[in-house]
Amino acid sequence: MLRCSVLVLCMVVAAKLQNDPAGQQILLFKEKTKGPIGVMTTSAGAPIEYKDARVTLNSKLIFNEYFMDSLTHLNRERIPERVVHAKAGGAFGYFEVTHDVTSICKAKLFATVGKRTPVAARFSPVVQERGGIDTSRDARGFAVKFYTEEGNFDIVGLSTPMFVIKDPLLFPTFVRAQKRNPATNLFDSNTLWDFLTLQPESLHMFLLIFGDRGIPDGYRYMPGFSIHTFEVLNEPGEKSFVRFHFTPTAGIKNLRSEEARKIAAVDPDYATRDLYRAIGNGNFPSWKVSIQVLSLNDVKNAGFDVFDVTKVLPLDDYPLIPVGIFVLNKNPVNYFAEIEQLAFSPANLVPGILGGPDKLFEARRLAYRDAEYYRLGANFNKIPVNCPIQVKLMDYNRDGKPPVKDNGKDTPNYYPNSFNGAEPYHDEKRTELIEIFQDEPNNFQQATELYVNEMTSDERSRLVQNILYSLGPVAKFLQDRAVKLLTIIHPDLGNRIAEGLAANRTNYYKNYDDRLFNYN
C-alpha cells in the first residue's frame, strides 16, 4: 500500500514538472536549440580552444584567457542590491485602454479605446533581501513602466492603498527600523515597534499588513495602488487629480500565517515561480486599471488632505472609474538584464501627467534617481530595459560609465547651441504642479474605519493574532505604547492586544471572543 502511494505521488510530481516552464526552463532551451549554439569565445570575441576550457593543471594560468576572463568577471558580477524591494518577480506585457478618459487626461497612452502600450512590471516584498522569502508578512512593491510614445511613465506603487509615512524625512528611519540590528545582524521586532509607536500614522498601513492582506498568495492575486494623488491635465488644460488602482481580474487572494510559513520552508521563491510558471503556460495574469478622480473643488472641500499618502480616498465619495486593463504575457529572457536592471522612478512622467504635489513624491523623485545612479551608473536609462522604446532619444548627456550606446554620435553636446542640435518644444497651455500645505499626519479615524467597517469578526481575530506574534517578544514599554495607540484606534483592539500580552499566548492566540465589539 505504501509503495503504491509513493508511486502515485511520484507520478503527480512528474506530471507537474512536465507542465512547469519555471522548473523546465533549461530543458526547454535544450529542446529548441538542437545542439551547441556556437563556438565559445572570450569577452573580446576570440574563440576558445577545448583544452583551455577544460583544464589548467600544469599550464600557465595567466596565458589562459578563458580562465582569466571568467575568474576576473566573477568577482564583479554582483551590483549593489536595492536597500528595499531587493527581491522581486517581474514580466512584460501591455496596457490596453478600455474606456475613454481623455476628458480627464491628455496623455497619449490613454488616447483611444483599444490602444495598447507596452509595459514592464516588477513586484517585490519591501523588507526581504535578495535571497529572502516571497511569503513574508510585508507590503509589496507594485511598479509598472509604460513605454509610451511620449517617453516612459512609471507608477511606483504598493500592494496597499496607503503608505506608512507622510513626511519623507522619516523614510530612512522607517527602513532602518525594519532592517537588521547592526549589533546582532538579526531582524528585531523592538526596532519595528519602536518606529510604529513613535509614528502612529504608520498604524493605518500596518493594520493591513498584520491583517489578512499582509501575505498575498503570489503576485497574480495582488492588487496595486499608486499611493499618490496625481495631478493630470486634459487637452484644454483643465486640472484633475487621480489615484490609480490595479485590481487582479482573477481576484484578490492571500495566505494565512501558518500556510505562508510552511510554503517558505519548501519554496522561498513561491511568488516568483508562480508568476513565471503561469505566464509560461499561457495563463496570462491581468489587472483592471481604474482611477479615482477629484476636481480642484473636490480637493479644496474634501475635509482632509487628499494628498496625504497615509490616507485613502473613500470609494463612496470618489468611486472608481474604469480606464483599461494591463496584461503580462512575456517572461524575462534574462532576469538580471531585464528585471534586476529595471529602473523605476516617480520622475518618469509624460505630458498630461504632472505627478503628485506632496513632499513624499518630491523626495522619491530624488531618491529613486540617486539609487539608480549608485546601482547602475549615470547611463542607466540607456540599459535596454529602461530605454523609452517608442521614442528617439535627443538628450545632451554624453560619456560616463557604459552603456553609452552611440553616445550622441557627432551631434552637439550642449544646449543652447547654434549648430542645429535638438530643441525643446513649446506648450502654450503649460501648467505648473499646484503647491499645497500639508499638516501633521493624523489618520486614526481611517484606521478605526478600517478596523470597524472593512474587517469581519474572523479577520479581526487573525489581525490580533498576527499583531501578538510580532509584538509579543518586544520590550514591555513598547508593548504598553502599542496598546495605548491601538486602543485609540478602537478599545476592542487595544483590549484584545493587552489581554493577549498579559496571557503570554502570542504564538497560540486564536479566535478571541468578539463580544466586546460594538458593531454599530
Is 407 part of a structural domain of the chain? no
Domain count, the chain: 2
Secondary structure (3-state) at 383: coil
d(CA 305, CA 37): 59
459 and 362 belong to one structural domain: no
150 and 260 belong to one structural domain: yes
97 and 211 belong to one structural domain: yes
Is 482 part of a structural domain of the chain? yes
Which of 334, 368, 386 is a domain's end point?
Answer: 386
122 and 216 belong to one structural domain: yes
99 and 232 belong to one structural domain: yes
Which of 330, 365, 386 is a domain's end point?
Answer: 386
User: DSSP of 432-456, one letter per residue?
Assistant: PPPP--------HHHHHHHHHHS--
- Please indicate, yes or no, whether the overall pTM of this predicted structure exceeds 0.75: yes
| Residue whose C-alpha is closest to residue 275's, from 222, 224, 225 | 222
463 and 335 belong to one structural domain: no
344 and 481 belong to one structural domain: no
d(CA 156, CA 160): 12
| Residue whose C-alpha is closest to residue 486's, from 512, 460, 505 | 460
Backbone CA torsion sign across 509, 514, 517, 520:
positive
* Whole-number pLDDT of residue 12: 42
Is 448 part of a structural domain of the chain? no
* Whole-number pLDDT of residue 7: 47
* Whole-number pLDDT of residue 370: 96
Is 437 part of a structural domain of the chain? no
* Whole-number pLDDT of residue 166: 97
* Whole-number pLDDT of residue 394: 86
Helix axes 203-210, 444-453, angle to 10 degrees: 20
Q: Is 217 exposed, middle or buried (0-12, 13-18, 19+ CB in 10 A)?
A: buried
Give yes or no for a cis peptide into 403 (omega within 30° of 0): yes
335 and 461 belong to one structural domain: no
Residue ranges of the chain whose pLDDT lies below 50:
1-2, 5-15, 505-520
Is 295 part of a structural domain of the chain? yes
Compute the radius of gyration of the chain from its Cα atoms. Answer: 26
348 and 487 belong to one structural domain: no
Which of 334, 366, 386 is a domain's end point?
Answer: 386
CB 116 within 8 A of CB 94: yes
Is 304 part of a structural domain of the chain? yes
486 and 363 belong to one structural domain: no
Is 443 part of a structural domain of the chain? no
User: DSSP of 73-139, one letter per residue?
Assistant: HHTT-PPPPPSSS-S-EEEEEEEEE-S--TTT---GGGSSTT-EEEEEEEEEESS--TTS-SS-SS-
| Residue whose C-alpha is closest to residue 91's, from 336, 276, 365 | 276
154 and 233 belong to one structural domain: yes
d(CA 67, CA 497): 61
Would you state the torsion angle of the CA atoms of residues 190, 192, 198, 202, taken in this order, to the nearest 10 degrees? Answer: -150
Is 12 part of a structural domain of the chain? no
CATH number assigned to the domain comprising residue 326: 2.40.180.10
350 and 459 belong to one structural domain: no
Residue 486 belongs to domain spanning: 455-502
